[in-house]
Amino acid sequence: MIPFGSQRAEGQDLATHLLNAQDNERLEVVQVRGAVARDLHGAFAEWEAQAHNLTRCTNYLYSLSINPDQRQGRLSKEQYLDFIERAEERLGLSGQPRAIVLHVKKDGHGVPREHCHVIWSRIDVERGKARHVAIDFEKLMAVTREFARDHGLRLPDGYYKDQKQDRRRGRQMSLYEKKQEDYGGVTMAQHKAQVTEAWNRRDTPRAFVRSLEELGYILATGERPYVLVDRYGNMNSLPKLIDDKTVRTKDVRAFLEKKYPKDSLPTVEEARALAAAHRAAMELFGKNEERAARDSAAKQRREELQRRQQPRRQVVEQDAKGLDERQRQSRQEFSLMQKRERMAFRQSYLQESRGIKLDRAARRPQGLAAFIGRVTGVELITKKLYEYRDATRYKLFLAQKKELAERQQRDAVALERRQQLETLSMERRLHALEQVEKRELRSLETTLLKERRTEDRERTGPQPETEPAQTHVDEFNRAAKKPIDLTAEFERASGSATGDSGSTGGAVQDPAPEAEITIQQRRRTRERSQETDRSEKPKRTKQDRTDENPSGDDSPPRRHRRDRDFDRGR
Calculate mean pLDDT across residues 536-565: 43
State the Cα–Cα distance between residues 64 and 233, nearest whole angstrom: 33
Same domain as 156, residue 13: yes
Lowest mean pLDDT among 45-59, 325-339, 498-512: 498-512
Phi, psi of 29 (to 5 degrees): -85, 105
Phi, psi of 66 (to 5 degrees): -115, 115
Average pLDDT score over the chain: 78
Q: Is residue 463 part of a domain?
A: no
Same domain as 451, residue 348: yes
Which residue would you say has higher pLDDT here, 418 or 181?
418
Q: Give the CATH number of the domain where residue 66 resides.
A: 3.30.930.30
Q: Where are the alpha helices (DSSP H) in 223-287?
A: 238-241, 249-256, 268-284
pLDDT of residue 562: 39
337: amino acid identity, one letter:
M
Calculate mean pLDDT across residues 297-325: 90
Q: pLDDT class for 410, splitting at 50, 70, 90?
A: very high
Q: Is residue 565 part of a domain?
A: no
pLDDT of residue 192: 86
**Three-state DSSP class for residue 222:** coil
Calculate mean pLDDT across residues 269-296: 76
Which residue range is the domain that position 184 belongs to?
174-284+482-536
Residues 6 or more apart whose CB falls under 8 angstroms from that of 217 comprise 195, 228, 229, 230
Checking if the pLDDT of 322 tops 60, the result is yes
Which residue would you say has higher pLDDT here, 318 or 186?
318
Domain total in the chain: 3
Calculate mean pLDDT across residues 132-140: 91
Same domain as 141, residue 211: no
pLDDT of residue 523: 56
Same domain as 181, residue 138: no
pLDDT of residue 473: 40
Lowest mean pLDDT among 33-42, 383-392, 465-474, 514-523: 465-474
Q: Is residue 210 part of a domain?
A: yes
Percent of the chain with pLDDT over 70: 75
Checking if the pLDDT of 472 tops 60, the result is no
Residues 6 or more apart whose CB falls under 8 angstroms from that of 404 comprise 341, 342, 345
Checking if the pLDDT of 483 tops 60, the result is no
Same domain as 156, residue 186: no
Same domain as 184, residue 157: no
pLDDT of residue 407: 94
Which residue would you say has higher pLDDT here, 251 or 462?
251
pLDDT of residue 90: 93
Same domain as 193, residue 156: no
Q: Is residue 84 part of a domain?
A: yes
The secondary element (H helix, E strand) that includes residue 62 is: strand 61-67
Q: Is residue 554 part of a domain?
A: no
pLDDT of residue 364: 86
| Cβ count within 10 A of residue 239 | 20
pLDDT of residue 475: 43
Same domain as 496, residue 530: yes
Same domain as 148, residue 27: yes
pLDDT of residue 158: 67
Query: How far are the Cα atoms of 24, 105, 179, 183, 449 from residue 110, in angstroms, in the given order?
Result: 12, 9, 19, 19, 18
Same domain as 408, residue 378: yes
Same domain as 529, residue 415: no
| Predicted confidence (pLDDT) per residue in 210-249, tens digit | 888 888 888 888 888 888 888 888 888 888 888 888 888 8
Checking if the pLDDT of 506 tops 70, the result is no
pLDDT of residue 463: 34
| Cβ count within 10 A of residue 308 | 12
Of 162, 195, 221, the last residue of a domain is 162
Q: Is residue 143 part of a domain?
A: yes
Percent of the chain with pLDDT over 90: 36
State the Cα–Cα distance between residues 185 and 175, nearest whole angstrom: 15
| Predicted confidence (pLDDT) per residue in 108-120, tens digit | 677 888 999 999 9
| Predicted confidence (pLDDT) per residue in 335-381, tens digit | 999 999 999 999 999 999 999 999 888 888 888 888 888 888 888 89
Q: Is residue 362 part of a domain?
A: yes
Checking if the pLDDT of 558 tops 90, the result is no
Q: Are 494 and 260 in contact (CB under 8 A)?
A: no
Lowest mean pLDDT among 280-284, 487-491, 548-552: 548-552
Q: Is residue 30 part of a domain?
A: yes
Checking if the pLDDT of 76 tops 50, the result is yes
Checking if the pLDDT of 509 tops 80, the result is no
pLDDT of residue 528: 52
- In terms of average pLDDT, the best of 151-165, 445-459, 508-522 is 445-459
pLDDT of residue 31: 92
Same domain as 182, residue 227: yes
pLDDT of residue 210: 87
Q: Where are the alpha helices (DSSP H) in 152-232?
A: 175-184, 188-200, 205-214
pLDDT of residue 172: 62
Half-sphere exposure of 77 (CA within 13 A, CB side): 8
